[in-house]
Amino acid sequence: MSTPGDFDHRVGSRLGDWIQNSADEPLWARPEVRWMVLLLCVLPAIAVVTTPLPLSWQAFFALGTFLLAVWFNRIEGRLISLMMMALSVMVSARYAYWRVTETVNFGNPEWPDLFFAIGLLLAEAYAMLVLLLGYFQVLWPLQRKPAAMPRDPSRWPTVDIYIPTYNEPLKVVRPTILAALEMDWPRDRFNVYVLDDGRRGEFKAFCEEVGATHLTRNDSKHAKAGNLNRAMEKTRGEFVAIFDCDHVPTRSFLQISLGHFLRDERLGMLQTPHHFFSPDPFERNLGTFRQVPNEGELFYGLLQDGNDFWNATFFCGSCAVLRRTALDEVGGIAVETVTEDAHTSLKMHRRGWNTAYINLPQAAGLATESLSAHVGQRIRWARGMAQIFRIDNPFFGKGLKFGQRLCYANAMLHFFYGLPRVVFLTAPLSFLFFEAHVIEAGALTILAYALPHIAHSNLTNSRLQGQYRHSFWAEVYESVLATYILMPTTLALINPKLGTFNVTAKGGLVQQEYFDRDIAKPYLILLVLNLAGVAIAVPRLLVWNTHEIDTVLLNVMWTIYNLVIIGAALSVAWESRQIRRSIRVNTAIRARVRTPDGREIDARTLDISEGGTGLTLEEPLDLALGSRVEVALAPDYRVVWTGATVTRSAGEILAMQFEPLSLEQEKQLVYAIFGRADAWVSWSDRRQRDDMGASFRQILDFGLSGIFRIVGVTTDSVVRDFKSVVNKAMNQIKSKQGQTAALLSAVLIGLLAFSATPVRAQESAAVTPESAPVPLVDPAAATSAGSRTLTLEQLGIERPIRLRGVQGEVAIPVAVRDDELVTRARLNLRYAHSPALIYNLSHLNILLNNELAGTIKFSDLTAQGAEAVVDLDPRLFVEYNQLGLQAVMSYTMDCENPVHSSLWTIVSNLSTLELDTRPIDLANDLNLLPKPFFDERDSRRLTLPFVFA
């Protein structure tokens, strides 16, 4: 038994240890101090959350806390961000407490009211949980910097670079292979492996030509994960770098990534961002590319940095480096789920391995080309995360720390937003259709509690995420995908083995604009339901619910907001054309031009693609179209001259199309576009930070546009169907009335034809040998040879074009028939613009198939209206063409508000396009019918000849 003296000695010893440790570290860093401070903060917060207030005091509390948050938001600093998160959590917790304790009547005998009330409450509980987990995830983004490599390259480790591919065309994979081979790393210490699950001969031949290793296997078991695991059995590098076949790395990728592995022996994986140099369906169809952050930027710009603080960064399948020993310890790439990447890093964390994230884009890839492909990709991600949540739940099992569990849980729970989002989009209809009171409270009381919760969460997230996600866009992204991920996530929870793996196609084209009715069916259904809800609100206001007008108005406002979000989703479903096989990247790098007379002129690129480039020259040139020049791109790295043909020469502006490239020229071009260390670092520097008001106006514009386009198309379709039915009925009536006359006419025509046939046969035999085929019609007569003038209205532009913002753009489709060749093209534009523009900074660009064809300068004389003539290069015309108008507008020398009212240009839809064409003879083949009589690309009225006996 211990004596009192022993006890006192232990107490004194502990006190001495505490004093000694306190001298070594700040007081706030001690765990007991942090817990004490947390307790002192939580107790008053609980009182604030649970104290009931009358309506007037609740409104005063709501207004006061929001003004406090607005004041906080004007102050920079991470500590202020933490305070805003705490305030948001407190206000949202007060709303949640009020909802659960005062607004749900669990004893309500009316089952519709209780059913809809519980459904909405569960959806709100999910949203609240995701909000809290999101705040936790980004408490302190780590913003890790690259670690330096040893000065002696002989100490650098060996690396295997894997490029898995299955069904992608070689043209998509070539740049990735060439860039990987040009890594800035000792050549004897890395190897490039193309993991070809498609087992294609052309891939093998290309790999042999450039020096990569082509690996195949006899089956495609476990898809990408199985492909990577089979490659690990055949290679021996200390580290494995993995790139999707369309993700082209920079030369600096390995030097940026490997330094931390040499500092931390327990670092198992380091991830870098997935950057996309082409627009995704949202950006392309809505025209927001590089203006609004895309769907993935929040994750790679902020959330992964937040995960890194908690040692919870997870593998994303590409643009990452993994330590082979860590992979071996967890059994290789995970094959149990279709999101093998995240599951693999989860296994690493359970085994005690660390992970890291560097938010520095060191590779760039292609985004999905169509909304249907985008939805398919997200379905796979959602299903995979639901599978992991089901079979390897982060809340259970050993090895994970508290922060890691919450970060993984947030990533997985995020993909369960399908049902809650559908609930939010339909919740007000429960009252408008069934008079179900889902919240047992007055409308003003609901506003007094709900508005602070919504306002604080939006304001705080705008501060935290504004650089990577603009306000209200999350609801658009979720609404587009909600109905599609609902079933896969639910089925994966029930049975993780249900479903199949799909590969996301890349490098495709969208030949013409169209409305994707199949993908838009859920949005159309939601649109009809919400429009019906607004319609039913009218009799409720005037007749049925005159005693609760405030409740009706609240639900109508909610429904109208839902209509805006649904309309924006419908706008995304209008697929715009993507006919360029080579994506043009706007970037300014050094170049040098060699003219036909041997002069060399320094220049900078305006944009560049695998097919050509536009340059700004240091001295003006005047070259004829079609002239041959040579260009050296990125000559600071190495000088490789590439032949090119001039497509535009206007003073200091020179545009050219590359001639067929040699392998050395292609390598240099890949480096110039993709391989530079700083290629993507400043990609979003000029983008405006989130402005909640401007963002809502933008969503409102897209929403109204989507609804009006659908209503217009539907109305036109109904009118056409009605006219068709009426015409059919009239024809039947006329047919019955004229049966006797028709019979007599047929007899008469038959007699005349019988008497004329021998003469016609003899005449034909006299001029045409029996062996010679008789053409159905003279091809020259059927073509559209000669000149024609088309207005923009005839090209499908129903009203004058209004271009807004610092760079307003529109694309106009122009088609050319199979049997004609454009020999001359001239655009006659009628336009006007804001007189408030700064004219030396503003102009109108004319583009043909994304090639700059001309520039119209603005001035005082053109502000009130002017006409301009631009000659277009006929050699740029293909079957399907895109005539682009791009208004570059500035009203101030400083940073501009992109939605300022002074930024506008109007182009009349009576502007004309003159085309001179030359006929091309079609093959003498009846299989071509209905050509040359009918060609779907001909915008003129159809004239179809008929031949009678």
The token pair that represents 943 in the structure block:
């004239």
Sign of CA dihedral 313, 318, 321, 323: positive
Q: Which runs of consecutive H residues, i.e. helices, occur in 201-323? A: 201-210, 223-234, 253-263, 281-286, 297-298, 304-309
Q: Whose CA is closest to 380, among 276, 222, 499, 493? A: 499
- Catalytic annotation, pick one of 113, 160, 196, 197: 197
Place of tokens 């992608």: 168
State the burial class of residue 720 (Cβ atoms within 10 Å of its Cβ: 0-12, 13-18, 19+): exposed
Residue 547 sits at the vertex; the CA angle it makes with 545 and 552, to the nearest 5 degrees, is 50
The token pair that represents 19 in the structure block:
């004093």
Q: Are 604 and 588 in contact (CB under 8 A)?
A: yes
Separation CA 878–CA 881 (nearest Å)? 6
Residue 329 sits at the vertex; the CA angle it makes with 325 and 332, to the nearest 5 degrees, is 90
Q: Whose CA is closest to 477, among 352, 399, 390, 374? A: 374
DSSP 896: -
Cis peptide before 488 (omega within 30 of 0): no
293, 493, 652, 658, 816 from 880: Cα distances, Å: 30, 46, 30, 21, 7
Strand-strand pairing, 904-907 and 820-833: antiparallel
* The total number of residues written for the chain in this structure: 949
Helix or strand holding residue 160 (H, E): strand 159-165
Q: Please write down the long-range contacts of 390-399, taking CB distance under 8 Å and 24 or more positions apart.
A: 390/492, 390/493, 390/496, 391/336, 391/337, 391/496, 392/336, 392/343, 392/346, 392/347, 394/346, 397/350, 398/350, 399/349, 399/350, 399/351, 399/352
Beta bridge partners of 811: 884
CB contact set of 664 (below 8 Å; sequence gap of 6+): 640
Place of tokens 């309506």: 55
Q: Are 415 and 386 in contact (CB under 8 A)?
A: yes
- 197 among known catalytic residues: yes
Separation CA 431–CA 436 (nearest Å)? 4
- Catalytic annotation, pick one of 160, 280, 341, 690: 341
- 341 among known catalytic residues: yes
Q: Are 191 and 237 in contact (CB under 8 A)?
A: yes
Place of tokens 């498609």: 198
Question: What is the DSSP annotation of 422-440?
Answer: HHHHHHHHHHHHH---SS-
DSSP 614: E
Sign of CA dihedral 648, 654, 655, 658: positive
Q: Are 886 and 874 in contact (CB under 8 A)?
A: no
Question: What is the DSSP annotation of 807-874?
Answer: EEEEEEEEE--TTEEEEEEEEEEEEEE-TTS-GGG-EEEEEETTEEEEEEE--HHHHT-EEEEEEE-G
DSSP 67: H
Q: Are 462 and 692 in contact (CB under 8 A)?
A: yes
160, 338, 932 from 217: Cα distances, Å: 18, 20, 49
Beta bridge partners of 646: 656
Give the active site residues.
197, 341
